[in-house]
Structure 1
Amino acid sequence: MSTAPNARLILIRHGQTEWARTGKHTGRTDVPLTALGERQASITGERVADLELRDPLVLTSPRERARRTGLLAGLSEERSWEALAEWDYGDYEGLTTAQIRETVPEWTVWTHPCPGGEQADQIHARTDMVLSLVRSQLPERDVVAIGHGHFSRALIARWLGLPVSEGRRFGLDPGAFSVLGFEHGSEQLVHHNVAPRP
């Protein structure tokens, strides 16, 4: 695929929610942004605008916290897409890692199953599907994907040709964004976890 040298995929994690603040795993549950989360979204929008994107295709998770982040960031959603939803944590929805580890020591979403939810191989397939669509657009326009923490980190890992489990190495704070691009035709992480600080 011929890609413009300056082609970029911008990943934005939604702003803070109360569950994100307290470390609860938030997949299917639609928790609203906090007041801080709304401010984060606005600041991130200003910073993303400074990137001078090329006719951006804006994709969002269908969860309201992601769509609200896009709206407050001033990004016009072109498509709300279930493929960008957060990892489905199944039985662990609403629990913190510490709570899960009371019964499954050393559990992480990257290394252990989520009973009743999605497993790493399913996330692998979903991230690759998303990146296939992204790559089809990059010759002509940049892509902005507004979503969630774990799934966005999995996207970073797959963009770099790494297993989904390596997403554990890329922290992504609420309201922050990362820029994925190319150098001499090779995928690279251009900017990472750019925090929405005034």
Structure 2
Amino acid sequence: MQADRKPASIYLVRHGETIWSASGQHTGRTDIALTDHGEDQARALRPMLSAVSFDQVFVSPATRARQTCSLAGLADAAQVEPDLAEWDYGRYEGMRSIDIRAERPGWAVYRDGCPGGETPGEVVLRADRLIARLRERGGTIALFSHGQIGSTLAVRWIGLSIIEGQHLVLGTAAVGVLGYNPGHADMPVISAWNLGPSH
């Protein structure tokens, strides 16, 4: 990071509710729009996010993330970032975890990945690549993204293995804040998790 740049502070925003997020279906590359409730959730983020002066805003290519960004009031500043796309669930796209485990007992996406989709290692490469760029940029940055790539970004931010992402659930239209310990400037931390008007 350049000496004249402040350390990165990342506001990680999950998209609002979709039909599939409400039903627990894994939604990777299927391009589903927000429900009416999801749109309301996204609008409700506006007061909190408008109080923050963002240096940059990045958004997943998915419609649900771009809608959330727009309704939250940050679309004019947003750039599409492919690395913010949700996991590619391959053959498990549209399935619920309970149904996957019925045919594959003990399955965990953060350990086992998805047949025909991404492996955990591939997602780590994507997350680490994005984190390196964000740290280099510095400043206050908003990321509009998804649940499981969001958890992956959070654990990789603090240097943990991707499997630890299973312990962090980011709700729809919820915000996590990634930054650094004020008393230890080189210590990355998760400053807040699941912030939002309905959380």
Mapped contact 1:62–1:82 kept (Cα < 8 A): yes
Q: For residue 67 of structure 2, what is the aligned residue in structure 1?
A: 68
- Which amino acid in 1 is paired with 2:115? P
- CA drift at 1:110: 1.3
Mapped contact 1:57–1:143 kept (Cα < 8 A): yes
Q: Normalising to structure 2: TM-score of the pair?
A: 0.92
Deviation sequence 1:89-118 (CA, Å, 0-9, x none): 000000001111111012121122300000
- Supply the distance in 1 between the matched residues of 2:163 and 2:55 (Cα, whole angstroms): 29
- CA drift at 1:170: 1.0
Mapped contact 1:16–1:36 kept (Cα < 8 A): yes
Q: Normalising to structure 1: TM-score of the pair?
A: 0.93
Q: For residue 31 of structure 1, what is the aligned residue in structure 2?
A: 32
Which aligned segments of 4 or more residues in structure 1 are displaced greater than 4 angstroms?
none
Secondary structure of 1:111's counterpart equals helix
Gaps of 5+ in 2: none
Closer/same/farther in 2, CA of residues 116 and 77 from structure 1, 3 Å limit:
farther
- Which amino acid in 2 is paired with 1:170? L
Q: For residue 99 of structure 1, what is the aligned residue in structure 2?
A: 99
Gaps of 5+ in 1: none
Match of 1:142 among 131, 140, 143: 140
Q: For residue 130 of structure 2, what is the aligned residue in structure 1?
A: 130
CA RMSD of aligned residues (A): 1.5
Deviation sequence 1:124-160 (CA, Å, 0-9, x none): 100011101111211xx21111010000100000001
Pairing of 1:6-45 with structure 2 (within 5 A): 7-45=8-46
- Supply the distance in 2 between the matched residues of 1:113 and 1:120 (Cα, whole angstroms): 5
Deviation sequence 1:4-46 (CA, Å, 0-9, x none): 26x4101000000000000000000011101111111111122
- Supply the distance in 2 between the matched residues of 1:112 and 1:8 (Cα, whole angstroms): 31
- Supply the distance in 2 between the matched residues of 1:113 and 1:18 (Cα, whole angstroms): 23
Q: For residue 109 of structure 2, what is the aligned residue in structure 1?
A: 109
Secondary structure of 1:102's counterpart equals helix
Q: For residue 88 of structure 1, what is the aligned residue in structure 2?
A: 88
Mapped contact 1:173–1:195 kept (Cα < 8 A): no
Deviation sequence 1:39-93 (CA, Å, 0-9, x none): 111111221223x22x421000000000000000001343112111000000000
- Supply the distance in 1 between the matched residues of 2:79 and 2:6 (Cα, whole angstroms): 23
- Supply the distance in 1 between the matched residues of 2:13 and 2:77 (Cα, whole angstroms): 13
